[in-house]
Amino acid sequence: MTTSPQQVDYSKSLKLPRTGFPMRANLPSREPGWVQRWLTEQVYETLLAKRRAADAPTYIVHLGPPYANGNFHLGHTLAYGLKDTIVRHKFLSGFASPYVPGWDCHGLPIEWKIEQELIAAGKTKRDLSVTELRDRCRAYARQWMEVQQAEWQRMGVLADWARPYRTMDRANEAGIVHCLGQLVQRGMVYNKLRSTLWAPVEETALAEAEIEYQEDYKSTAVYVALELVDRPNEYLVIWTTTPWTLPANRAVAAKADEEYALITVKERKFYVANHLAEKFYSTCFVEEPLLRLDFPKFIGSQLVGLTYHHPLYADRTGTVYHGDHVTTDSGTGLVHIAPAHGAEDFALGQAHGLELACPVNGSGRYEAYVEEGLPAGLTLAGRSVLDKQVIRDICATLERNGSLLHSSSYTHKYPLSWRSKAPVIFRTTHQWFIDLDEATVPETGKSIRSSALDLIHARSGNRGVHWQPENGENRIGAMIAGRPDWCISRQRAWGVPITIMVDKATGEPLTDPAVWAHLEALVARKGIDAWDTRLSGKEAELFPQGWLQAHGKTPNDFTYVRDILDVWFDSGTTWHHVVKADSAAGQRFHRTDGKRVADVYEEGSDQHRGWFHSSLLTSVALTGDAPYESVVTHGFVVDGQGRKFSKSLGNGVTPGELLDKYGMDIIRLWVGSSDYAEEVRYSPAHMEAAADQYRAIRNALRWVLGNLPEGGGEITTVAESALPELERYILHRLGTVLAEARAHYDAFAFHQGVRTLQTFINTELSNLYFDVRKDTLYCDRADSPARMACVYALEQIFRGLATHLAPIIPFTTDEAWRSRYGEGACVHLEEYAKGPNVAEPSGFEDLLGLRNAANIKIEELRATGAVGANTEVSLTYPKELEGFFSTELIRLVCNVSAATAGTELKVTKHSGHKCPRCWRYYNTLEASGLCTRCEDVVNG
C-alpha cells in the first residue's frame, strides 16, 4: 500500500448536497422575470378556476382603490404586500379568493393637476368645457394607473390584472348613480345651506386643502358701537377685521361666564370685556379723559338676551347670545355675528334660527337687496366686498351715524385661494347632504347613524363587524357617533355628477325609480358627460322616453344640480358595484354562503375616517348591513426612531430604491416580521436585518433541496412505524409548527407566524436536525433505511416550509418549488402542506437537555484545544438514561463519534482512529482504512 488512506479524496463517494437553487438570490434582477412568468402562465386565473372547480368556499378581500396620481410610496408597498399575503394565505388554505385591483380616479387632486397644467400654459379651466376638462383628467388618471399598475405588479401581487376596476369606468359611474338614486328614493338626501370657504375669483367653494395663508395680510379693523334697544346711550362694542360683513350682522355673541365692564365716556356707556377694557379705551379714546376707573361689572350671561340696533339698518335689531367660541385675547369680548360669513357664526345662527342666506353672490359682490334700508349715501349692490373703497364707504357711513369708534389697518393671517392667491371669504351656499339621523333605514327601522353604530358595536342583535385591532371599534364608533351629516356635494368638474333633478314646483328631488333607472342606463352608456346634455339644451334626454308627456312636464319644470359627488362616495360604494353586483351576476366575486359582501377590508388606520367609514354609511343606508365581515388595519411606515417620514427630515425612501437593492421578498419579509397593527419602522438597518433573515431561510431551503431529487424526482414514502425516533420527533415538530404558524396567519398575525417558522428553521432544523443528519445523508448508502427516512422527512419539511412561506416570500418559494418539482409546477397553485401526523416520541425533551449539557462540556474541552469538531469527541452519559434512549440515538443527537453509559456526563477526546471518509472516530477501522459502514458503501 503506497497511498495512505488519508490522502484519498473520498468526497466524490459522498452524496453531498447538490442543487440548481443558488445560494445568492439576485432578487432585484430576477423577480421581474417571475412577475412576467406568473402573468404569462395566468397563475391567478388558473388558481381561481381550480378552487372554483373544487367548489371551494369564497373569501373576498376587497381592495380600497389607490388614488390614480403619483408613484407608489413605501406605505403602498406595505399595504399591498399585506393584502397580497392575506389573499395568498386564503388561497393556500383552500379558499377561492378573488382579488381585483382597482383605482380611485375622480376628485380634486387630479383636477388640480390639470388646472396647474392649464395655468402653466397661461390658461384657466374656463377656457375648456367641462367635458374637455374631464377628458384631460381622465387621460391623466389613465397615465398614472399604468405607472402604478407596473409598480404594483412588480410586488408580485396575485390578482385579476386582466380586469381591474376604475371608478371612472362607465359601469362604475353608473353604479355610483344607482347608489345615489337609491338614497334619494329612500328620502335620505336633502339640501340645505352651509358655511363654505369661497373663492370669489374662481367662483367656487374650496376645500381646506386648497387654502393657503398669507401671514401679513392687511385688513381694516373697526370698533363699532351698537346701541341697545330701550337703553339709550348704552352700547355693545364689537370689533371686526371684516367690516364688509356688517350688513349681514344678525347677532352679537358674548361669553356667559366672562366678566364685562361698563365704561362711561362722556355721556356714553360701553360694554366690553373687562380684560380688554383698557386696551379698548386707549385705542378709541386717546384724547378723552377717563371719567371713572371703577367700572360696574357684569358677567356675560347678564348681557345675553339684550337687543341692539343694527349700525347700518335703522329698522333692524339684533340679539346677544352666548357663544362658546368667544375669546378675550383680542377685540372686545363681544363678537359680531354674521351667520352668512363664518363657520361659527353659521352654527350660532342655525342654533338660534337667524337668517342664514348669504347677501353676497358667487363672485363676491353684494346682492341688490342689501341696499334696501341702508342710510342714504351708501350704495353696496353689485360692489365687491373686498374692494377697499367699499370698506371705506361703510366706515364713512358708520362714522356719520356715530357707530364707528375707531378704525385702523390691521395685519394678520388670512386665507387665500391656492390657485389665484386671492383672498377667500366665508359664504353660505346650498349643499347636498346624506341625512344620518332623520331618515329611516327600512331594513333596520332606525336612522343610518344608529344602524351603523349597532353594527360597529354588535348591538341590537347584530352580528358585529370584527375590528382588528380591536380598538378600531372605538375609533370608528366615536367618529360615526360624533360626525355631522355627510355633505356629498362639491362644486367641481372631475367627478360623478349629482344627477338630481329638482321639481321647481315642489322644491323636491325627483324620486321616480323609472327616471333614476334611465339616468343609470344613460351614464352606463355614455358616461358622466351624459348629464351635461343640460348644457346643450337636451335635458329631455335625461328623462325616459315619454315620461315628460305622461307627467305633463317639460324640462323647464326642473332644475338640474350642477354639483358633483364627494369622491369618498365613489370609493364608498365600490362594495356595491364592484363586488355585490358582480357576485349577484354569478361572476368572479360569486358567493353563496350568505356572508356579507366582503370578508375583509384591509387598509391603513387613517381609513377609519375614510374608506371604512364611507363604505359603512352607504352600505348601511342602502342595505341595513355592513359591507364587510372584518376590518383589518395597519399602521404607517415611520423611520428608525419612530418618526413619520417627511421631506423636511429627509428620511424618505422610495420602494424603487429598496427593490433595486434588496428585492421584494426581502421587503415582504421586513413587513412580515413587523407587527403592522401599530407603526411599522423602517431604516436601512431594518432592511439589512430582513436580508439576514432571508439568507437564513434561503440557505435552509437550499440545503434541503440539495438533498432531494430535482425536477420532480420521486421519493419513497416511509410509514410512521418505520421512522427512526429522530424523524418522528422532527416531523411531529413540523406538524406542530405549521399548525401554529397557520393559526397565526388566520388571525392576521403574520409576524407571529413568520417568527414561528423562522425559529423552527434556525433552532430545530439548522442547529439540530440538519446538523445531526448530515452524516446519514452524505455517507450512508442511498437506500439505507435511515437515509430514506431522512429524505422522506426532508421532503415533508420542504413542502411544509415552502407552502407556509409562500404568502410571505412568493418569489423565493416558487423558485424553490420549481427547482424541486420541475418548471411546470408552481407553489402558488398548491394548498398548505400540513406534514404527516406523527406522534411525539416520549421524553425527547430530556434528550435535548442532555444535548445542551453535553455541548457545554464539549465547549469547555474545545477551549483547552484538545478537540475541534464534535466528531473528535467521545461521550459518557449517565446510566439512568439507559433504557429510555438507545446509545446510538444519544450519540446521534449529541453529534459525537461515540457514546457509552457511565456514572455521569463526561466528554473526552476520542482515542480511536478517524475514518477518512466520514470523519467519525472508531476504535478500529477496516483494512482499507475506512470504517465498516463506509467500507460497505464504497467497496461493498
Partner RNA sequence: GGGCUAAUAGCUCAGUUGGUUAGAGCACUGUGUUGAUAACGCAGGGGUCGUAAGUUCGAGUCUUACUUGGCCCA
Please, are residues 571 and 611 in contact by the beta-carbon 8 Å criterion? yes
* Least gap, CB of 677 to RNA (angstroms): 8
| Rounded CA separation 171/618 (Å) | 18
Per CB under 7 A, contacts with RNA among 10-69 are: 10-11, 14, 16-17, 23-24
- Contact residue for RNA among 396, 696, 747, 866 (CB under 7 A): 696
Q: Name which of 288, 241, 292 is nearest 262 in CA terms.
A: 292
Region near RNA per CB under 7 A, out of 228-236, 503-511, 678-686, 803-811? 678-686
Please, are residues 852 and 894 in contact by the beta-carbon 8 Å criterion? no
* Least gap, CB of 735 to RNA (angstroms): 19
Q: In the structure grid, which three cell numbers stand for residue 732, read together?
A: 411531529
Per CB under 7 A, contacts with RNA among 890-909 are: 895
* Least gap, CB of 930 to RNA (angstroms): 11
Region near RNA per CB under 7 A, out of 192-200, 243-251, 303-311, 672-680? 672-680
Number of residues that bind RNA (CB under 7 A): 77
Per CB under 7 A, contacts with RNA among 177-216 are: 208
Region near RNA per CB under 7 A, out of 174-182, 365-373, 605-613, 879-887? 605-613
Q: In the structure grid, which three cell numbers stand for residue 811, read together?
A: 418569489
Q: In the structure grid, which three cell numbers stand for residue 916, read together?
A: 477518512
CA 757 distance to own-chain centroid:
28
* Least gap, CB of 35 to RNA (angstroms): 24
Region near RNA per CB under 7 A, out of 87-95, 548-556, 765-773, 808-816? 765-773
* Least gap, CB of 895 to RNA (angstroms): 7
* Least gap, CB of 4 to RNA (angstroms): 14
* Cβ neighbours around 67 below 10 Å, total: 18
* Cβ neighbours around 166 below 10 Å, total: 22
> Under the criterion CB under 7 A, does residue 606 sit at the interface with RNA?
yes
Residue burial 238-265, b: 16+ Cβ < 10 Å; e: rest: bbbbbbbbbbbbbbbbbbeebebbbbeb
Per CB under 7 A, contacts with RNA among 611-630 are: none
Our CB check for RNA shows the closer of 23 and 550 to be 23
- Bridge pairing between strands 268-273 and 628-634: unpaired
- Contact residue for RNA among 264, 440, 651, 855 (CB under 7 A): 855
- H-run or E-run covering 135: helix 130-154
- Contact residue for RNA among 609, 906, 909, 913 (CB under 7 A): 609
Residue burial 280-319, b: 16+ Cβ < 10 Å; e: rest: bbeebbeeeeeeeeebeebebeebbebebbbbbbeeeebb
Region near RNA per CB under 7 A, out of 195-203, 357-365, 638-646, 718-726? 638-646
Our CB check for RNA shows the closer of 387 and 675 to be 675
Our CB check for RNA shows the closer of 243 and 663 to be 663
Per CB under 7 A, contacts with RNA among 698-727 are: 699-700, 702-703, 706
Q: In the structure grid, which three cell numbers stand for residue 416, read together?
A: 387665500
| Rounded CA separation 768/565 (Å) | 63
Per CB under 7 A, contacts with RNA among 409-468 are: none
- Contact residue for RNA among 49, 550, 685, 839 (CB under 7 A): 685
Region near RNA per CB under 7 A, out of 119-127, 175-183, 616-624, 855-863? 855-863
- Contact residue for RNA among 503, 678, 831, 840 (CB under 7 A): 678
Please list the residues that pair with 793 across neighbouring strands: none
- Contact residue for RNA among 58, 274, 403, 693 (CB under 7 A): 693
| Rounded CA separation 43/139 (Å) | 30
- Contact residue for RNA among 360, 801, 858, 930 (CB under 7 A): 858
* Cβ neighbours around 661 below 10 Å, total: 15
Our CB check for RNA shows the closer of 71 and 852 to be 852
- Contact residue for RNA among 779, 794, 806, 833 (CB under 7 A): 779
Q: Name which of 754, 468, 457, 746 is nearest 602 in CA terms.
A: 468
Our CB check for RNA shows the closer of 288 and 771 to be 771
Q: In the structure grid, which three cell numbers stand for residue 543, read together?
A: 328623462
Per CB under 7 A, contacts with RNA among 351-410 are: none
Please, are residues 299 and 257 in contact by the beta-carbon 8 Å criterion? yes
- Contact residue for RNA among 310, 728, 751, 799 (CB under 7 A): 751
Our CB check for RNA shows the closer of 122 and 642 to be 642
> Under the criterion CB under 7 A, does residue 647 sit at the interface with RNA?
no
Region near RNA per CB under 7 A, out of 416-424, 616-624, 682-690, 710-718? 682-690
Alpha-carbon separation of residue 280 from 238, 334, 412, 835 (angstroms): 10, 12, 19, 85
* Least gap, CB of 428 to RNA (angstroms): 17
* Least gap, CB of 695 to RNA (angstroms): 5
| Rounded CA separation 805/103 (Å) | 29
- Contact residue for RNA among 204, 242, 468, 605 (CB under 7 A): 605
Residue burial 792-809, b: 16+ Cβ < 10 Å; e: rest: bbbbbbbbbbbbbbbbbb
Q: In the structure grid, which three cell numbers stand for residue 313, read together?
A: 339698518
Please, are residues 565 and 497 in contact by the beta-carbon 8 Å criterion? yes
Alpha-carbon separation of residue 614 from 194, 469, 620 (angstroms): 20, 19, 10
Please list the residues that pair with 193 across neighbouring strands: 430
Region near RNA per CB under 7 A, out of 176-184, 379-387, 443-451, 637-645? 637-645
* Least gap, CB of 645 to RNA (angstroms): 8
> Under the criterion CB under 7 A, does residue 503 sit at the interface with RNA?
no
